[in-house]
Amino acid sequence: MADTDSADTLTDLPLAGLHAALGAKFVPFAGYSMPVQYASGVMGEHLWTREKAGLFDVSHMGQVRLPKDALAGLEALIPADLTGLAEGRQRYGVFTDDAGGVLDDLMIAHRAADVFLVVNAARRGHDLAHLRAHLSAVEEVTDRALLALQGPLAEAALGALVPGVADMRFMDVAVFDWQGADLWVSRSGYTGEDGFEISVPVAQAEAFARALLSDDRVAPVGLGARDSLRLEAGLPLYGQDMDEGISPVEAGQGWSIGKARRRGGAREGGFPGADVILDQLENGAPRRRTGLRPEGRAPMRAGVHIFAEAEGGAPVGQITSGGFGPSLGAPIAIGLIAADTPRDAPLFGEVRGKRLPAAQVPLPFVPPGYKR
């Protein structure tokens, strides 16, 4: 999970002091010093989130505001149906390039006063430059923390502080007051569970986080469990499961390309790489994503080559994300393999020179718990 950032160049999260007081272990990630786990460890935090409510600090993510009328211009950069996005709703999308690759994935919220984006931390600088090259009045939000409350008890825990959130559906967005602070809330997250992402002014962020943590249903959860949760949910991680060399169709995100933007749609194409991506939607991509269940207890990590035979032959693909699935008590992985590989064929991951069997399985590994 950690990248190669050196300790003296890392940025602290606004709530770094709170995380330290809670006993967090920190690692470098995307230029930030991030809490990777607390005293209960990754396994305990993962299972707590699946059963109760986990509080994640995702303030490293980029927050961006655009003018209210920016959706049409944004649609020229993203294959999603954005001009059809209703006010008060949020949509997932990807920035694409001319070759059909993915520059980043992001969330787009159509709010009463503006358009609000959340982008990946490692791509923030790139995304801001990309947006500013094509749109005007692009504003980076730098005075707000971003928290995620995830799990089946998230609604009850957040609702105790902000009663109106109980009326929100999956992918709704709204603004609520909490003790004089404007909370920008979306009913979304990246764990596969029901939950919320809450942008809160830095000045009130610690008080708000402590108020949530005072609820017995809520526990702090770090970067380690965030990764295992999203892996079980079959959610892609930018830089591993998708990048400039992997199209959204290959990454299993073709669903995010709106009907209006497809062949014969009201606003067909008009985004970078449209010819490549629309052809893949109609005729198939050269590679496809698959879930994998390795036999035994040894996890298969990102970069492991995948073969169709126990011996000999060239690789048919590789693992893009892999690890241990605490909810399943077994290793799990996401692979990107040649599209002509039979879906029922046994595969083999080469780990330390040995080819170990892995069965292809549908994604996600754990059914989602979103409130529709």
Q: What is the pLDDT of residues 327-351, one digit of tens each?
A: 999 999 999 999 999 999 999 999 9
pLDDT band at 3 (very low <50, low <70, confident <90, very high): very low
Per-residue confidence (pLDDT) for residue 293, from 0 to 100: 98
Same structural domain, 54 and 146: yes
Domain's final residue, options 167, 197, 232: 232
Q: What is the pLDDT of residue 7?
A: 57
Q: How confident is the model over 109-122, as a mean pLDDT?
A: 97
Q: What is the pLDDT of residue 369?
A: 95
Last residue of a domain, one of 191, 207, 232: 232
**Range(s) of the domain holding residue 332:** 286-372
Are 369 and 301 found together in one domain? yes
Which structure tokens are listed for 1?
């999970």
Going by C-alpha positions, the residue among 269, 275, 228, 340 that lies closest to residue 100 is 275
Among 166, 161, 151, which residue's Cα sits nearest to residue 204? 161
Is residue 316 within 8 A of residue 287, CB to CB? The reply is no
**Number of structural domains found in the chain:** 2
Is 16 inside a domain boundary? yes
Pairing mode of beta strands 53-57, 218-220: parallel
Q: How far apart are CA 95 and CA 142, in angstroms?
A: 22
pLDDT of residue 1: 32
Q: Residue 43 maps to which CATH number?
A: 3.30.1360.120
User: Is residue 132 included in any domain, yes or no?
Assistant: no
Instruction: Give pLDDT, residue 372.
Output: 84
The tens digit of pLDDT for each residue in 284-320 reads 999 999 999 999 999 999 999 999 999 999 999 999 9
Do 156 and 48 sit in the same domain of this protein?
A: yes
**Residue 310 structure tokens:** 């126990």
Report the percent of the chain where pLDDT is more than 90: 97
pLDDT averaged over every residue in the chain: 96
Q: What percent of the chain has pLDDT over 70?
A: 98
